Amino acid sequence: MKVLLDTHALLWAISGDARLSAAAASTLLDQENRLFLSMASLWEITIKLSLGRLKLLPGWYPLLEREMAINGIRWLAIEPAHCLALERLPFHHRDPFDRMLVAQSLGEDMVVVSRDTTLEAYGVPRIW
């Protein structure tokens, strides 16, 4: 199964945060799954860091890349088709990062690992 990680799911997984659900952790550990992180998540992290809404250790990016490599998580590029799909999405969600995850998951036939129940309004399969 192709799995797209929401930003918080990845951060909680690599930091060992107890807020990561058992179902989410199991999905991430299943070697049969192909795991992806959207470039929108990198964009979200850097914006939140610059606004002071997220705190990470200095040198966080190389650590993130290392954890992604260890866990077999690949980057999912934002393609023109993903951007164009945003025009057709209803506004169940106003968060631009989550809307991009919806467009990508629908366009790439992916399940999303996220605690955000609003994603289900789009018909996105969600694990939490």
Return the domain boundaries, the chain.
Answer: 2-127
Length of the chain: 128
Q: Tell which CATH classification among 3.40.50.1370, 3.40.50.1010, 3.90.550.10, 1.10.3720.10 matches the domain 2-127.
A: 3.40.50.1010
- Residues 65-107 have pLDDT tens digits of 999 999 999 999 999 999 999 999 999 988 999 999 999 999 9
- Residues 26-70 have pLDDT tens digits of 999 999 999 999 999 999 999 999 999 999 999 999 999 999 999
pLDDT confidence of residue 93: 81
The answer to whether the CB of 119 falls within 8 A of the CB of 126 is: yes
The answer to whether the CB of 37 falls within 8 A of the CB of 74 is: yes
Model pTM score: 0.94
